[in-house]
Amino acid sequence: MRARRRFPLFLVLLALWWLLFTPGRSLTGTGSESLPYSAFLDELEQGRITSVLIREDRIEGERWAPPFRISRGFRTTRIEDPTLIERLRSSGVRFDSVVGGGWIRDTFSWILPLLFMAAFWWWMLRGIGRGQTQMGAIGRSKARVYVERDLSVRFQDVAGVDEAKVELREVVEFLKDPARYGRLGGRMPKGLLLVGPPGTGKTLLARAVAGEAEVPFFSINGSEFVELFVGLGAARVRDLFEQARKTAPCIIFIDEMDALGKARGLGALSGGANDEKEQTLNQLLAELDGFDPGGGVVLLAATNRPEILDPALLRSGRFDRQILIDMPDRKGREDILLIHLRKVNHSDTVEAKVLAGITTGFSGADLANLVNEAALIATRRGANQVEPADFTGAVERMVGGLERKSRVLAPDEKERVAIHEMGHATVSFALDRGKTVHKVSIIPRGIGALGYTMRRPMEDRNLIAQSELEHQIAVLLGGRAAETLRFKEASTGAADDLLKATEVARAMVERYGMGVDLGPASWMHDPAPPIPMREWNGLSGHSEEIRKRIDEETIRILEHAYGLAMRTLRHHERFVEAGVSGLLEKESLDEAELQTLWRLHGETESIAPQGFDRVQAGGSSGRPEPENHTHQT
């Protein structure tokens, strides 16, 4: 209401300013037609000028305009002309002069600017005090605050992370009853860091904690603290914690923590540390030391790159706990799919357990996208329900890319692609019994993929034996081997297979210590430089001789795997031919059709994994790298 009362006064002042100081405005009411000074002199000589008012910067007046001698006003720029008065007298023109704009104009010419400047700064200072203007908000936190009614996510909406939910339930109970946890002198951790690959549900889990505890939720991204000017990020950190203390109990959630908490020594790589980022991180460390968790403020953060965080941030007393949010296992994928399947109208034949089996390596976000893609596919074909075939198409769309039926292959290219894909499928059937071939197709997909072989594991694996890694390489090289056996030469279609096979073989030698000559040693170079930076020289630390032996061992593993694939294909030639005929006729073979062909044409005996003349290791140490089970030509 107060602003509404001030608004008419502002309009009056603005109108007065326009009337008094708008350039070229006439006060005589005679119009505003502009004439050049030369045209004014011509009109004066012809006797058309009737009256003139001479001002300091211009001349105004009236003139007769032909053909009907209508009186019109004019104005022109005043030029120093000593003969002007004599010309006006000789022409009989009435004239007068005005010096200045009068006392009103002279007074307002210096009072109004001062009034406007004073009003502007009064308005800005009031806005800064209240934090309402952009200038006032520059040092304020950009955290989005969600109150209890805005948070509909609960633990039941998050699946596949049961261990993490158990740890976070303790946080929920603390926020509901802080006094209970201080009964024996203990305290809650100041900070909890959620660590895991992208798409595993770290942000969703943090929102579920706030939803379960029914407390306000301050959510902000780590990059929003980083500003151009030094000190602004630190001011926002202070303001964020100040708001949280006033709202306690509450949760502060910082997503993408690596953008804010990156190790301070890493700035030396780019020619010097960033003062703004370091001051912001220092302020965050100070706030973590200064706030009392007993007040009901819990700090959650999420990152998928914990290795680059500053060690001072991860020490006890700041982020006391690191909670792993890993890729879901088969049971976790099934639970996640059940949550998302409730949102779509699907057929009774859609089984989450089956879908979980063909989505190994999918994160929670991938599974949500899978259900959405399947629903879109069913919508495009005009169905009333989502069928299992729609989910298979969605998996192929996500892994292999968009189907390109418009791309027509020449008959010889089509046959070569069919031979290549059946090479992958045959070696997989014979050697890699831990996986089943889900589908083989020669329909082009994605960018440059002329065909694909989709395999799915029979069960989730945490350890992979050395022989299994060798069989994986043989499957990858099966397409190249099948082309060579049939056409006596290779093609460019195996480029992606060769890249993946080389990566697996090199990992066997460098990371898992499975090389014959190099012994049980890890030669993997850690890409993350140590801290402090002065200890990092940018080199791998391997001698020339070691690097040469690593390359030789990698090539030897690839050559032996290639020979194993060649022997397997010769042994199962009838199955290869039957599969090629089916692909050329139908363009795709599903799992049931491939199993039928294997029973009819596949020999019962399998090829022994020979050719690797060295001591067989029992298994790889640690969890294996994620495997792409779709091989594209």
Q: Which amino acid is at 497?
A: D
Dihedral of CA atoms 309, 313, 314, 316 in degrees, nearest 10, equals 170
Q: Which amino acid is at 129?
A: G
Q: Is 169 helix (H, G, I), strand (E, B) or coil?
A: helix
Confirm if 24 and 59 have CB atoms less than 8 A apart.
Answer: no
Q: Looking at residue 248, what DSSP letter applies?
A: -
Distance (Å, rounded) from C-alpha 180 to C-alpha 163? 23
Q: Which amino acid is at 608?
A: A
Angstrom distances, CA of residue 127 to CA of 10, 122, 135:
18, 9, 8
Q: Which residues of 375-393 are buried (b: 16+ CB within 10 A; e: fewer)?
A: bebbeeeeeeebbebbbbb
142 Cβ contact list (under 8 Å, min separation 6): 220, 224, 236
Which of the residues 373, 387, 421, 468 is marked catalytic? 421
421 a catalytic residue = yes
Bridge partners of residue 455, in order along the sequence = 437
Question: What is the residue whose two structure tokens read 């602003």?
Answer: 3
Question: What is the residue whose two structure tokens read 């910067």?
Answer: 57
How does DSSP assign 305-322, residue by residue? -GGGB-HHHHSTTTEEEE
Per the structure block, which two tokens stand in for 428? 């997989």
Catalytic site positions: 421
